[in-house]
């Protein structure tokens, strides 16, 4: 038990820190995404001339928001319909079911992590560039840089990486519970979404 708790507590602190930073970045991405969409509406319907880069930039923000908020939601929630089943089962059976589901989830997440790295970040699709999204450095005398696809695809890989860390924490918590150490577990830190609710 001390070994499990010795691994769990630093992992909890790491996840709490990373998810707090991720929540702040996700709220910023959401705000930028909303501003871009509203700008797109203004340009399209008021000026009848919508720039095409705003749509790509909004998609970019949406992917990063999703990649950073999914781990927060996962740590907080779980399997909604299966939670109802867990409540109906005896305590030991519910804990075993939860551990089995977390193990299957970890297996799927590890496959997604590997495929995300090899299929989207480090391949031709990742090396390509977004057609309209650019950094306008020519305003300052530099060259305009088109955004690379992997800058956007990396959001999903980062999200999967954070989900793996959260899943490992939840698995350790479940093992400690199964071994009778539930009273030694700290409650999960608050994961309120920085005023976004």
pLDDT in tens, 81-109: 556 677 777 878 888 888 888 888 899 88
> What torsion do the CA atoms of 100, 176, 109, 107 make, to the nearest 10 degrees?
-40
For the stretch 6-32, pLDDT in tens is 888 888 889 889 999 999 999 998 998
Distance set, CA 189 to CA 23, 57, 144 (Å): 14, 33, 43
Beta bridge partners of 135: 145
- pTM equals 0.73
pLDDT surpasses 60 at 136:
no
Rounded distance, CA 100 to CA 82, Å?
A: 12
**Other CB atoms closer than 10 Å to residue 194's CB: what's the count?**
11
Residue by residue, DSSP assigns 140-176 as GTS--EEEEHHHHHHHHHHHHHHHHHHHHHHHHHHHH
């Amino acid at each position: 038990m001390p070994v499990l708790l010795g691994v769990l507590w630093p992992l909890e602190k790491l996840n709490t820190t990373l998810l707090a930073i991720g929540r702040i970045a996700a709220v910023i991405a959401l705000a930028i995404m909303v501003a871009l969409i509203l700008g797109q509406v203004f340009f399209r319907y008021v000026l009848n001339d919508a720039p095409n880069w705003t749509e790509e930039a909004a998609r970019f923000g949406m992917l990063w928001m999703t990649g950073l908020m999914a781990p927060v939601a996962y740590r907080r929630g779980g399997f909604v319909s299966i939670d109802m089943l867990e409540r109906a089962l005896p305590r030991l059976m519910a804990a075993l079911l939860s551990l089995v589901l977390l193990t299957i989830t970890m297996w799927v997440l590890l496959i997604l992590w590997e495929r995300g790295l090899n299929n989207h970040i480090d391949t031709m699709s990742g090396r390509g560039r977004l057609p309209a999204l650019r950094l306008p450095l020519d305003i300052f005398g530099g060259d305009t840089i088109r955004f690379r696809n992997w800058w956007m695809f990396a959001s999903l890989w980062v999200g999967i990486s954070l989900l793996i860390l959260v899943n490992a924490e939840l698995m350790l918590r479940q093992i400690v519970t199964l071994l009778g150490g539930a009273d030694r577990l700290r409650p999960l830190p608050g994961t309120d979404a920085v005023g976004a609710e």
